[in-house]
Amino acid sequence: MKDYIVKDEWKIIEERYVPEHNQITESLLSLGNGKMGQRANFEETYSGPTLQGSYVAGVYYPDKTRVGWWKNGYPEYFAKVLNSCNWIGINVIVDGESLDLAKVKEVHSFRRELDMKQGLLLRRMDVTLSNGARLEINSRRFVSMHNDELGVIEYSITSKDYNGPIKIESYLDFDVVNQDSNYDENFWDAEQSESEINNHYVQAVTKKTQYTVGVAMQNRLILDENGSDQKSTLTALPKKSIEAFNLDISEGSTVTVYKFVGITSSMNYAAGDIKSKAKHIANQAGNYTFDELLANHTRAWSDIWDMCDIRIEGDVSAQQAIRFNIFQLYQTYTGQDDRLNIGPKGFTGEKYGGSTYWDTEAYCLPFYLSTANEEVAKNLLIYRYKHLDKAIENAEKLGFTCGAALYPMVTMTGEECHNEWEITFEEIHRNGAIAYAIYDYIRYTGDKSYLAEYGIEVLVAISRFWTQRVNWSERKGQYVMLGVTGPNEYENNVNNNWYTNYLATWCLEYTMEALNHVNSDNHARYEELIKKIDFPSGEVKKWQHIVDNMYYPKDEELGIFLQQDNFLDKELTLVSDLDPKHRPINQKWSWDRILRSCFIKQADVLQGFYFFEDHFDEESHRKNFEFYEPRTVHESSLSPCVHGILASKLGMEDKAYEMYLRTARLDLDDYNNDTEDGCHITSMAGTWLAIIKGFGGQRITEDQLSFSPSLPAQWNSLSFKIKFRKNLLEVKIEKDKTEINNLNGPAMELLLEGSKINLPESNLILT
């Protein structure tokens, strides 16, 4: 755990240059707008530890899987989000020496900050180069939310004591690599490169997937009154376009480069338009000042904040953290495009390949349901609906038949593309999360028509998978499910993971209920669907038999469900018994030791309690929580949020607060020593859940919105807005009272701590 980020309500600030922190800060201060993203790399040359990262949504490479023993059913490739054109590059060469923070003689001051209100990255540093020249650098940069194909940089160099020549090279560079690549390949083939006055462009195409990305730049150089004449040199290399400015700089004078960059791709344009669009964006932007463009961008952020901000009074650390989480989520996914999804690292790193995981359905969906228009959450569901055929193919490859679908654990296009067998492959519970998301969406929006339109097909295909995946145990006289991995990835290939067994039967029951609903609500559509999916009437009988006869491992004496068969045979120690030097165990222990231990990576049985809380009484909640939480190391970012919500429900205030800080500040404080790989974007939705469902106690109870707040003792108040069906509500929770206002929408009834509240109609705000 680290503690170098300055606490501030709206900013993420780093005040000192510490090379070991650089990659962490690069992740934290990343910028994005849903269509592209950029790590907080320095503009100029940097030879210290860095992960160069510039990403374009949807542009990926299928890196051929590399394994020792190839097994049937293994995915052909692991998808990788590609490090794309380096568009931020600005080299500064002073009297022949490149400015390189890792090599300077002295750093007099250094400060980087991300202003989340404005979506602006700032840096100021004062350094003396090895050749004795002292410079101050000030840079500002944003990735526009107003025009999501535009990036803008303002980069100023002030000479503190140097008089002499300086060269500034502003460039675009496709000669980039991924840190993570199976065969050390360069994934881009050069297509075009131009470098003329006011016309700089590079275009490259990805190997295999053939995505074209075009990047255009406009530079503007501004000298103060002391500035000398400048000469510019233009260079076009196959993957690179450089505009170099040569000038003399004198003590006290400042030179500023403005860089306007347009980035387009074949995801959104026909081949013939990619170049003209990128150039148009850069040229248009070049007609405005940095501040004018920034104002448009900031306005777009202000609209997002107006809806999504959560205010916490009395706890700066908690306030900063929730804003950071919301900020990163909206930088990653804005919901405009149903081909896109939310990679666990968003645009902040390469790990997890930028692919889609069950995280979206289990964690992110509720955030977008409550903070964005209904179409955004619906787009996330439709993304999976469109992948149904591929999920059926995926199951067929493994030997399943008759339209059974197994959704991938990791995907870009609907195909499975993970790179781990026992862990990822066997996590078939992801199929259940996709069904659960349909339920969650309908429960929240009330939009039952989704079932007839799209939902049923997905649910039936998933149910068919479970039906074939279980087997009848003669010995038990019950159905069992063997050889799976539950959400806790620190156990592989286990039998009867309680969560998976429970989720499977829930899916079957929910699918039967959904079919009955469509049959009675829209019989013609039902008939049509039955034909389409070839659904014999006897199929549900088998489902019911499984529901009635499933085996669930449990221990009556302890009053708990067992994570899997024989869990209690393990040596049952506690996380508190672990020497802190051994943590995180995934970095300190052998895999063998981890698998044998009782330590749990993330909520597993408790994930089931979170999803299905109404199915269990409070005593059962408590016993399971008290048994499993003390054995959970929370080494998955997805873990603390679920535990936080359950702790709030159980009235365990300290635990709930501890878990909140852990989920909310996971990256800011680098709890798991892995933020340098990128931020944990999907778990940031979990942070939001820990506030809204945890401290706010928000639920849907019998088709009504309900709240049962429990404010942490450290907070004076908590307030947020929430969309629910036709209403936009504002909730303010204080120590001794909760106020809920209907900001917009018809009169509605809701439940506050179990009592009915009527809110009058309002049209204060037009949404």
| DSSP states along 94-115 | ETTEEP-TTT-SEEEEEEEEEE
Minimal distance, residue 23 CB to ligand BGC, in Å: 19
Residue 212 CB partners (closer than 8 Å, separation 6+): 191, 203, 204, 205, 206, 265, 266, 271, 274
Token look-up 């929006």 returns 445
Pick the piece of the chain touching ligand BGC (CB under 6 A) from 186-194, 322-330, 350-358, 550-558: 350-358
Binding of ligand BGC by 61 (CB under 6 A): no
Distances (CA, A) of 440 to 337, 598, 635: 21, 32, 26
Nearer residue to ligand BGC within complex by CB, 44 or 489: 489
Does residue number 359 form part of the binding site for ligand BGC (CB under 6 A)? yes
Least separation, in Å, of the C-beta of 595 and ligand BGC? 14
Q: Considering only 157-165, 355-363, 589-597, 665-673, which stretch makes contact with ligand BGC by CB under 6 A?
A: 355-363
**CB contact at 8 A, 165 and 230:** no
DSSP string of 14-44, one letter each residue: E-S--GGGHHHHHHHT-EE-SSEEE----SS
* 415 near ligand BGC (CB under 6 A): no
Taking CB under 6 A as the criterion, the residue among 243, 350, 489, 669 binding ligand BGC is 489
Active site annotation includes 489:
yes
Q: Which letter does DSSP use for residue 375 in this model?
A: H
Q: Tell me the one-letter amino acid at 584.
A: P
Q: Nearer Cβ to ligand BGC, position 333 or 358?
A: 358
Ranges within 307-346 binding ligand BGC (CB under 6 A): 344
Closest Cα partner for 749 from 740, 308, 369, 310? 740
193 versus 563: smaller Cβ distance to ligand BGC: 563
Stretch that binds ligand BGC, among 354-362, 436-444, 547-555, 745-753 (CB under 6 A): 354-362
CA distance 430 to 356: 11
Supply 508's token pair.
């079957």
Of positions 352, 421, 441, 502, contacts ligand BGC by CB under 6 A: 352
Q: CB of 487: closest distance to ligand BGC in angstroms?
A: 6
Q: Shortest Cβ distance from residue 238 to ligand BGC (Å)?
A: 36
Q: Is 348 in the site for ligand BGC (CB under 6 A)?
A: no
Distance separating alpha carbons of residues 46 and 83, to the nearest angstrom: 17
Beta-bridge partner residues of 156: 138, 256
Q: Does 742 bind ligand BGC (CB under 6 A)?
A: no
Contact pick of 55, 357, 479, 551 for ligand BGC (by CB under 6 A): 357
- Hunting for tokens 């018994």 — which residue is that? 577
Specify the pairing of strand 90-94 against strand 120-128. unpaired
Written as six digits, the tokens of 282 are 């850069």
358 binds ligand BGC (CB under 6 A): yes
Contact 61, 187 (CB under 8 A): yes
Distance CA 757, CA 759 (A): 6
Contact yes or no for 312/648 (Cβ under 8 A): no
Phi/psi at 59 (nearest 5 deg)?
Answer: -90, 110
The residue among 742, 667, 749 whose CA lies nearest residue 705 is 749
Q: Least distance from C-beta 344 to ligand BGC, angstroms?
A: 4
Catalytic-role residue among 43, 149, 489, 676:
489
Please report the DSSP string for 570-595 in residue order: S----GGGS-GGG-SHHHHS-HHHHH
Report whether 685 contacts 692 (CB < 8 A): no
Task: Give dist(CA 679, CA 666) in Å, integer.
Answer: 9
User: In this complex, which beta carbon is closest to ligand BGC, that of residue 159 or of residue 682?
Assistant: 682
What's the order of all strands across the beta sheet hosting 699-701?
A: 699-701, 704-707, 748-752, 755-759
Residues 632 and 602: beta-carbon distance below 8 Å: yes
Which tokens belong to 298? 């900031």
DSSP 455: I
Q: Which is nearer to ligand BGC, 218 or 636 (CB)?
A: 636
Closest approach of ligand BGC to the CB of residue 425, in Å:
13
Name the residue type at position 648.
Answer: S
Give whichever of 487 and 709 is closer to ligand BGC, judged by the CB atom.
487
**Which residue has the CB atom at the shortest distance from ligand BGC?**
344
Nearest approach, Cβ of residue 720 and ligand BGC (Å): 25
Stretch touching ligand BGC by CB under 6 A, among 351-359, 449-457, 511-519, 640-648: 351-359
Sole binder of ligand BGC in the list 52, 203, 334, 636 (CB under 6 A): 636
Contact yes or no for 406/384 (Cβ under 8 A):
no
| Residue list 104-143, contact with ligand BGC (CB under 6 A) | none
Task: Check residue 602 for interaction with ligand BGC (CB under 6 A).
Answer: yes
**Least separation in angstroms between CB 282 and ligand BGC:** 35
- Please state the closest distance from residue 352 (CB atom) to ligand BGC, in A: 5
Q: Which is nearer to ligand BGC, 57 or 718 (CB)?
A: 57
For ligand BGC, which stretch binds (CB under 6 A), given 51-59, 165-173, 286-294, 356-364?
356-364
Identity of the residue, 42 or 609, whose beta carbon is nearer to ligand BGC in the bound complex = 609
* Tokens matching residue 708: 């049962």
Asked if 668 and 1 count as a contact pair (C-beta separation under 8 A), the reply is no
- Cβ 343 to ligand BGC shortest distance, Å: 9
For ligand BGC, give the closer residue by CB, 255 or 329: 329
Gap between the terminal Cα atoms of the chain = 41
Chain-centroid distance of CA 134 in Å reads: 40
Q: Site for ligand BGC (CB under 6 A): which residue of 75, 408, 487, 686?
A: 487
Q: Name residues contacting ligand BGC, limited to 20-59 (CB under 6 A).
A: none
* CB of residue 499 to ligand BGC, shortest distance in Å: 12
Give the nearer residue to ligand BGC in terms of CB position, either 467 or 602. Answer: 602
Rounded CA separation 735/113 (Å)? 33
Among 638, 659, 668, 689, binds ligand BGC (CB under 6 A): 638
Site string for ligand BGC, 664-703 (x = CB under 6 A): ------------------x---------------------
> Which region among 144-152, 352-360, 500-508, 755-763 touches ligand BGC (by CB under 6 A)?
352-360
Q: Under the criterion CB under 6 A, does residue 454 sit at the interface with ligand BGC?
A: no
Measured from the CB of residue 44, what is the shortest distance to ligand BGC in angstroms? 33
Q: How far is CA 619 from CA 612, 623, 627, 706, 744, in A?
A: 15, 6, 12, 22, 39
For 509, counting Cβ atoms within 10 Å of its Cβ (0-12 exposed, 13-18 middle, 19+ buried), the class is: middle
User: How many residues touch ligand BGC (CB under 6 A)?
Assistant: 12
Please state, in angstroms and rounded to a whole number, the distance separating the CA atoms of residues 60 and 135: 39
Coil, strand or helix: which one is 675?
Answer: helix
426 binds ligand BGC (CB under 6 A): no
Between 352 and 561, name the residue whose CB sits nearer to ligand BGC. Answer: 352
Smallest distance from ligand BGC to CB 580, Å: 21
Q: Which residues does the annotation mark as catalytic?
A: 489
State the residues that interact with ligand BGC by CB under 6 A: 344, 352, 357-359, 487, 489, 601-602, 636, 638, 682
